[in-house]
Amino acid sequence: MKAQGFVHTFGDNVDTDVIYPGQYLNIPDPKAMAAHAMEGIDPGFVKRVNKGDIMVVGQNFGCGSSREHAPLALKEAGIDCVIAKTFARIFYRNAINIGLAILECEEAVDGISAGDSVSIDFDTGLITNETKGETYQSEPFPEFIKDIINKNGLMNSLK
């Protein structure tokens, strides 16, 4: 499994209230959620993002609420992978469970800038910054989690 796209960057402690504001939690359809992705911190995000883009963020990304609306909105908005220094734990498992690829790699977050073109090999955990000609090695997932991701989410893996 691979991903390749352009990068959008955000800082530390980006919480689920800014990723997906509480007033839209009455929307149960993921496609409709996408219109409000990152609205609390960057209202222009949805217009700028293209299918296959990658987010590069700081520490504790997705802290706060357990709302799965947050990773669902990002996935439906077109984000293929989020690379963070660290993820908040509920966002981490939600992303895996719904099939949104995520990686923890401090070196990559420090090296990558907004607008860079980046490709990712999920089998090896290698992240390549095509714009700057750099590579960063992230820890690949354990087999158990890889299996959930490869089957495109937890529910599919239970079938």
Partner 1 sequence: MGMTMTQKILAAHAGLESVKAGQLIMANLDLVLGNDITTPVAVNEMEKAGFDGVFDKSKIALVMDHFVPNKDLKAAQNCKQCRTFARKFDIDHYYDVGDMGIEHALLPEKGLVAAGECIIGADSHTCTYGALGAFSTGIGSTDMAAGMATGQCWFKVPEAIKFYVTGELGEDVCGKDVILHIIGQIGVDGALYKSMEFSGPGLKNLSIDDRFTIANMAIEAGAKNGIFAVDEITTEYMKGRVDREYTIYEADEDAEYVQTIEVNLSEIKPTVAFPHLPENTRTIDEVGDVKIDQVVIGSCTNGRMSDMEAAYNILKGKKVHKDVRCIVIPATQAIYMECLKKGYLEAFIEAGCVVSTPTCGPCLGGYMGILAEGERCISTTNRNFVGRMGHVTSEVYLSNPAVAAASAITGKISSPKEVK
What is the closest distance, in whole angstroms, from the C-beta atom of residue 29 to partner 1 in the complex? 8
Does 76 interact with partner 1 (rule: CB under 8 A)?
no
Tokens 């009455």 -> residue: 26
Q: What are phi and psi of 53, to 5 degrees?
A: -65, 165
* Contact (Cβ atoms closer than 8 angstroms) between residue 149 and residue 120: no
For residue 64, state whether it binds partner 1 (rule: CB under 8 A).
yes
Stretch that binds partner 1, among 48-56, 60-68, 105-113, 114-122 (CB under 8 A): 60-68
Residue ranges in contact with partner 1 by CB under 8 A: 13, 15, 17-18, 21-23, 25-28, 40-41, 59-60, 63-69, 71-72, 86, 88-90, 93-94, 97-98, 142, 144-145, 153-156, 158-159
